[in-house]
A and B are shown apart, each in its own frame.
Chain A
Amino acid sequence: MSDRPTALELLEAVEEFLSSEMLATVDDQRMKFRTLVAINALGIARRELAADEPGLGEDEIRELARRIRAGDVPADAHAVLKEHVAAKLRISNPQYLERYE
């Protein structure tokens, strides 16, 4: 058990610093883009720490990949994979899923 701020709170603090203080001082387009990428990366880490979805375990993912490569595709593979990938997107880019609504 660590003292506060928690890992999540530290990520939030850095994300807020970058987006509300740092970004406005960056003039170079390339650096501005990289700063936005960095903010995005912190957001991914923050959502992952906060997530409590059970989802597929590491062994299940590995086994499913192995079976599909071998041509032994489970009947429900498509549906299982769609949910598995949607769960990854809820962490990496939740807005992306809105493009399919």
Chain B
Amino acid sequence: MDAEGSALLVRRASRGVIHAATLSLEDEFHVLEAAAEAGVKVPRPVAYLGELGGREAFAMERVEGETIGRRIARNPPPGLDVQLADELAKIHAIPPERLPFLGSGDILERFEGELDSVGEPHPAIEYGLWWLREHRPPPLADVVTHGDFRIGNVVVSEGGLEYLLDWEFAHLSDPREDLAWPLVRAWRFGADDRRLGGVGEVAPYLERYAERTGRAVAEEELYWWEVLGNVKWATGCLTQCRRHLNGLDRSVEYAVLGRMAAEMEYELLDLIESR
């Protein structure tokens, strides 16, 4: 409990990370503060605590609600599609100079590097990276991105979106990286027909995003980013699995992710074939 009487949650650094560019907990706390200032629905940041027992930590408001993707996709609250666009618009309007530590960089080089760090050949992911290099669209100017904007990282109630969680992958990037990430099939949680995260359609989401940002993005433009999203999550599964294999964080859940990467490999091949 804090002075205002609300329950707190202490978030601590984990052992090992999915992606090399993961923020420190101190920087993640600053991102959460900037998001709160910008009016994004986030748990109230309370204090950065420094190291607790050798691991960084910060305190934030403890929030209630549903985060399990399968349950949300089974019964999505009405309006969630446009609410997602509203939050994204607010995030993308945060001035980058407010968060000078956020990194950017060539996204394809980043995932080549991450795949190399796995030390196991994955020709299907290589094929995805090759296709992405061959079809690269002209970039939009970088904005502050959430970096893991999808169902599973939002708290919902019957009334819709309540909070956005998990800011550790925030970085500077093309806004379409965030826009397309919840479309990736893995984040539709079995409701494959509802292309936006298993909870809605893409058109109203993009329409609302354009209203709020003045940035008109065609559904067609998200296709390249959706292929990238599959490369990204396939690689993420492999690097997560290595946290188990290299002994950093032994867990049966991390272990099986190594075999789940094939699902995103199949999806990216199918997506590329669909054109």
Binding site for B on A (CB under 8 A): 34, 37-38, 40-41, 44, 61-62, 64-66, 68-69, 71, 73, 77-78, 81-82, 84-86, 88-89, 91-93, 96-97, 99-100
Contacts and interface: CB of A to CB of B under 8 A. Distances in A.
B124 interface: yes
Given A37-B253, A44-B259, A100-B266, 6 more contacts: A34-B253, A68-B127, A73-B127, A84-B124, A85-B265, A93-B259
Given A44-B256, A61-B121, A96 B126 contact: no
A7 to B, nearest CB: 18
A38 B251 CA distance: 10
A86 B266 contact: yes
A34 B272 CA distance: 34
A56 to B, nearest CB: 8
B126 to A, nearest CB: 4
A85 B124 contact: yes
A89 B266 CA distance: 9
Contact of A85 (B129, B130, B256, B269): B269
Contacts, number: 79
Contacts of B130: 68-69, 71, 73
A66 B270 CA distance: 22
Contacts of A66: 121
Interface string B259-275: 11011011001101100
Nearest to A33: B253
A96 B267 CA distance: 10
